[in-house]
Amino acid sequence: MSDDEIDLKALSDDDLVGQMHDDLYDGLKDEIAEAVMILLDRGWEPYKVLTVALVEGMRIVGIDFRDGILFVPEVLQSANAMKGGMTILRPLLAETGAPRVGKMVIGTVKGDIHDIGKNLVTMMMEGAGFEVIDIGINNPVENYLAAIEEHQPDILGMSALLTTTMPYMKVVVEAMKEKGIRDDYVVMVGGAPLNEEFAMAVGADAYCADAAVTVDMAQEIMKRRHNQRGADPRPA
Ligand code: B1M
C-alpha cells in the first residue's frame, strides 16, 4: 500500500461509509467492492450496506450531476463502481430461501438506458422471493409484449428516468389494452421523475417510489390475489 492509500479496514463504520460515498463519487470500483466486503464481515445486513453506503452515495452523485458539477463520463464511472458493490450484494439479497411468491417482468422503456434503479428493484424483488425476468434497457413495446406472453408474470414493471421517456409507459399500457390483456397483469411503474399522479394517468396500477416500496406493494398485491383465488370456487 502506498502512503496516500487509505487502509479501509482501519476505518470505523461511519468513516468507512463516508469513504465509500467519496469512492463512489470518484468511481473507484475495487475500493467499493473491498469496502462492501468489510462491512459484510462486520456483520452489516446486505440491505443496510446497499441503502446506507451505495444508494446514499449515488444520491450525492445525482445531486452534483444535476448541478453540473459532475459530467456523464464521471457519472458512468460512479455507476460502474456501484455495480462492483452490487455484484457482491446481489446473491446475498436473493439468498432468502423463501418460496417464489410471484413473478415479475421488468425493463426500462424505449429511449432510456438508465438501469441502476431497475437493477436494484430486481435484486430486492429476488431477495423477497419473487422470480424476476429482467429484459434490460431501451425496450420498445414489442419487447414488453413478447416477454409477458413468454413468461406469463403476475406483474409488469417499467422503469424510466427521463421526463422524455416516461410517457412511453402509456404506449405499453395502451398496447396491452388493445390486445385485451391489460387486466391480466398488475402494472407497476417507477423512476425518479415519476409520481403517483403520473402513474395513474398512464394507466398503471401502482407507483413505486423506491425498491423497498416496490417489494412491499408487490407482496401486498400477491396476497390479495391469493385471497381472491382462495375465495373463488373456480380453479386458479
Ligand atoms: Co442520467 N439523467 N442521463 N445518466 N442520471 C438523470 C436521470 C437526471 C435526473 C440527472 C440530472 O440532470 N439531475 C437527468 C434527467 C433529467 C430529466 O429527464 N428531467 C439525466 C439525464 C439528462 C441524462 C442524459 C440525457 C445526459 C446526457 O446525455 N446529456 C443521458 C440519457 C441517456 C438515455 O437514457 N438515453 C443520461 C445518461 C446517464 C448515464 C449513462 C451517464 C448514467 C446511467 C448509467 C446506468 O444506469 N447504467 C446516468 C445516471 C447514473 C444518472 C443519475 C445521476 C443517477 C440515476 C441512478 O442510477 N440513481 C440521475 C440523477 C438522479 O436520479 N438523481 C440521472 C440511483 C437509483 C438507485 O435510483 O434510478 O431513481 P433510481 O431508482 C429508484 C426509484 O426511482 C425506483 O426504485 C429505484 C431504487 O430505489 N425505481 C423503480 C426505478 N425504476 C423502477 C421501476 C419499478 C419500480 C421502482 O418497477 C416496478
The per-residue pLDDT for range 17-43, each reduced to its tens digit, is 999 999 999 999 999 999 999 999 999
Contacts for 104 with CB less than 8 Å, ≥ 6 apart: 125, 130, 131, 132, 133, 153, 154, 155, 156, 157, 188, 218
**What tens digit of pLDDT does each residue of 197-234 get?**
999 999 999 999 988 789 889 989 998 887 776 655 54
Q: Is 62 in the pocket of ligand 1 (CB under 6 A)?
A: yes
- Distances in whole angstroms, Cα of residue 215 to Cα of each of 103, 200, 221: 12, 19, 10
Q: Counting atoms of ligand 1 from 1, which one is nearest the CA of 67?
A: 13
The helix/strand/coil state of 35 is: helix
Q: Is 136 in the pocket of ligand 1 (CB under 6 A)?
A: no
1-98 and 100-236: same fold?
Answer: no
pTM for the structure as a whole: 0.80
Query: Domain 1-98, CATH 1.10.1240.10 — does that match?
Result: yes
User: Which pLDDT does position 127 carry in this prediction?
Assistant: 61
The end-to-end CA distance of the chain, in Å, is 61
Q: Whose CA is nearest to atom 19 of ligand 1?
A: 163
* 71 touches 101 (CB < 8 A): no
Residue 199 CA to residue 208 CA, distance in Å, equals 9
| Å from CA of 112 to ligand 1 middle | 9
Residue 77 CA to residue 138 CA, distance in Å, equals 20
Q: Counting atoms of ligand 1 from 1, which one is nearest the CA of 165?
A: 18
Ligand 1 pocket: which of 49, 61, 64, 65 to mutate (most atoms within 8 A of CB): 65
Q: Whose CA is nearest to atom 77 of ligand 1?
A: 210
Q: Whose CA is nearest to atom 72 of ligand 1?
A: 117
Query: Rounded mean pLDDT of 154-168?
Result: 98
Domain ranges of the chain: 1-98, 100-236
Residue 13 CA to residue 21 CA, distance in Å, equals 12
Least confident of 49-58, 94-103, 162-171, 201-210: 94-103
Q: Is 204 in the pocket of ligand 1 (CB under 6 A)?
A: no
CATH topology of domain 100-236: Rossmann fold (3.40.50)
pLDDT at 124 over 90: no
Q: Counting atoms of ligand 1 from 1, which one is nearest the CA of 117?
A: 72
Contacts for 91 with CB less than 8 Å, ≥ 6 apart: none
129 backbone φψ class: left, alpha, beta (φ>0; ψ -120 to 50): left
**What tens digit of pLDDT does each residue of 63-116 get?**
887 788 988 789 878 888 988 998 898 888 877 544 568 999 999 999 999 998
Cell matching residue 133: 425476468
| Å from CA of 135 to ligand 1 middle | 17
The confidence band for 59, taking pLDDT boundaries of 50, 70 and 90, is: confident
State how far Cα 232 lies from the chain centre: 33
